Amino acid sequence: MTVIKSSKKFFELANGKNVTREAVDMITIEGWDDFVANAEKQLASQGCTDITFDKDGNLCAGRQIWRKPKVSKTTKGIMVVRSKDYIFQYDQKESFGDKTGAKVIDNKLVIETIGGGSFHYTID
């Protein structure tokens, strides 16, 4: 197994290859039902009775909206690397990411996301 120490090396090795993306510390499709059940209990305990779902399945409570996630905990796809960004192709979809701030931890490429979560990519 090749030890990868830099994001530059990871991108070089992953370009055009099969990779696995893991969503870490974020709500995923698989965790949505548990999140909603917990949120409904907490909101009800705070006296909130205006709990609904919009047409897209987002949880709404008063002025608060929690967006229904569109990412799975684990997704397999192909990474296409470009000069300043990359494309993750999966299930006939594409996800674009900026290479800025990418780091490698334990041979995984780590991309931080808004909200404190991250995507961890491994080369298959």
pLDDT tens for 101-113 read 999 999 999 999 9
**Dihedral of CA 97/99/102/106: which sign?**
positive
Q: What confidence score (pLDDT) does residue 62 get? A: 86
* CATH architecture of the region 7-26+71-123: Roll (2.30)
Mean pLDDT estimate for the chain: 95
Q: Rg for the chain (alpha carbons), in Å? A: 18
Which runs of consecutive H residues, i.e. helices, occur in 22-118?
32-45
pLDDT tens for 12-47 read 999 999 999 999 999 999 999 999 999 999 999 999
Tokens of 31: 């965790």
Above 80 in pLDDT, residue 56? yes
Segments making up each domain of the chain, as ranges = 7-26+71-123, 29-66
Q: What confidence score (pLDDT) does residue 49 get? A: 86
3-state secondary structure of 108: strand
From its phi and psi, is residue 113 left (phi > 0), alpha (psi between -120 and 50) or beta? Answer: beta
